[in-house]
Amino acid sequence: MRHMNNKGLFSSMRVSVLPASVLLLFWVLGFSGQPRPDGPVQDGWVQLFNGKDLSGWKQVGPGTHMVENGLIASRGGMGLLYWQRQKFGNSVIRVTFKMQKFNSNSGVFIRIPIEPREEWMPIHYGYEVQIDNHPETSGEDEYHITGTLYSLTKPLAKPGKPGPQWNTMEITLDGPRTVVFVNGEKVTEYTEGQPVPARKFDFEPIRGVRPNEGYIGLQNHSDSDIVYFREVAVKPLIRK
């Protein structure tokens, strides 16, 4: 499973030749013919989570996600809550999250080529942008820390905050390039085809090129890993 045709906004347009206002208008009006998010548009960001329910989202695999006090809460695992209405490419994804306890395990998935039907497909055919500030407690190394492409990239910084502090993660999808900032510090910059380490564990993703666009999702990892998400927002990438 490799590059798929995408009728979503962000990958079907040359974002470098249209002004930001036009791109955003196309998004809000449903340019691609797909249902649009229920949340508001704020400063160019389209909110995929409306703060009330999980409209537009779908759960696969064990465990679940639910809305508690205006937040998405993960329960059980290992599963995935993914945005079902559209693929994303050439965009910036902003996720605001906090761990219930000092440290918890979760992740933000990107570049999933087709709609997942079970929990392992996104791991092996997309990328997980990791949420876990202390991977050493489970025998893993820094390639598994918050903001990395799980098991693939070495962190440029380690700015993840422990629970219950809030963290902001911004993931830029720029063609084959992925850039991740956590709390304003760059953690990952990776372009398809760059060398990555060999797999150390059978639960790590199969190596290989991912598509330029895909579905995105939030992971629920286990009964002991509860992570809250306050915001999941997307805006088109404007190349200058």
pLDDT in tens, 32-82: 334 355 556 778 899 999 999 999 999 999 999 999 999 999 998 899 999
Do 88 and 231 meet the contact criterion of CB atoms below 8 Å apart?
no
Which whole number is the average pLDDT over 100-122? Answer: 96
Other residues' Cβ atoms within 10 Å of the Cβ of residue 2 = 9
Q: 21: exposed, middle or buried (C-beta count within 10 Å: 0-12, 13-18, 19+)?
A: exposed
Helix (H) or strand (E) holding 230: strand 227-236
Which whole number is the average pLDDT over 168-173? Answer: 98
Q: What is the mean pLDDT of the chain?
A: 87
Delimit the domains of the chain by residue range. Answer: 9-236
DSSP output for 54-122: -TTEEEESSSEEEEETTEEEEESSSEEEEE-S--B-SEEEEEEEEESSS---EEEEEEE-S--SSSSHH
Q: What is the pLDDT of residue 19?
A: 53
CATH class of 9-236: mainly beta
Residue 159, pLDDT > 80, answer yes
